[in-house]
Amino acid sequence: MKKKMIRTTVFLAVITLTLAGGPVFGEENWKDMKKESKRMKIDETAKEALDELLAKNAKAKLLFDNSHAWAVFDNLKLAFGFSGGGGNGVAVEKASGDRTYMKMGTAGVGFGLGANKYQVVFFFQDPKTFDNFVNKGWQADAGATASAGTNAAEVKTGFVNGIAIYQMTEKGLMANADIAGTKYWKNKKLNR
């Protein structure tokens, strides 16, 4: 019985990720877009999210100014008794401007119903942390949270293991949003 539930959850999560991987970016049909158009859309969304974060949060601006690199992911998370999500993003080395296009995905079991669209912004303290994130991929552990919003949350925000993370929704910055279990990896199709 347990194996059947796990298989069903994985199957539903894969379907969710497949459906969520493209439409995160809006009205255009993601699958029909050319590679360069996809990159441009990802870059545009990333710039908007980064600009909004830096304008609204002085601590984030300070961390960005002292960071080696940054990344932004646009995500859609669905919950219907299980949760799954997916999205795309870009990781940028500040000095060179080099861009690496990436994907993200998450799946889990739990109570919930609905959809949540949000952006996750990463700042990388040093070249090694950034290189590991981009080239080896990264999975948020159980303690990974995105912090922003209120002054109380802002005090806790900083580089942890070389990474600072912020999550933004349509309602604004979220304080201590849980991103545990989310995996990030290179998008092979967009980096060719």
pLDDT at 121 over 90: yes
Q: Of how many residues is the chain composed?
A: 192
What is residue 143's predicted lDDT score, i.e. its pLDDT?
A: 53
Percent of the chain with pLDDT over 90: 47
Q: What is the mean pLDDT of residues 147-156?
A: 42
pTM over the 0.95 mark = no
Q: What is the mean pLDDT of residues 90-102?
A: 97
155-192 pLDDT tens trace: 345 898 899 999 888 776 655 455 667 899 999 999 97
What is residue 33's predicted lDDT score, i.e. its pLDDT?
A: 83
pLDDT at 96 over 50: yes
Query: Which burial class, exposed, middle or buried, applies to 112 when counting CB atoms under 10 A from its CB (0-12, 13-18, 19+)?
Result: middle
What is residue 180's predicted lDDT score, i.e. its pLDDT?
A: 67
pLDDT at 17 over 90: no
43-66 pLDDT tens trace: 999 999 999 999 999 999 999 999
Q: What is the mean pLDDT of residues 116-121?
A: 87
Q: What is the mean pLDDT of residues 83-90?
A: 87
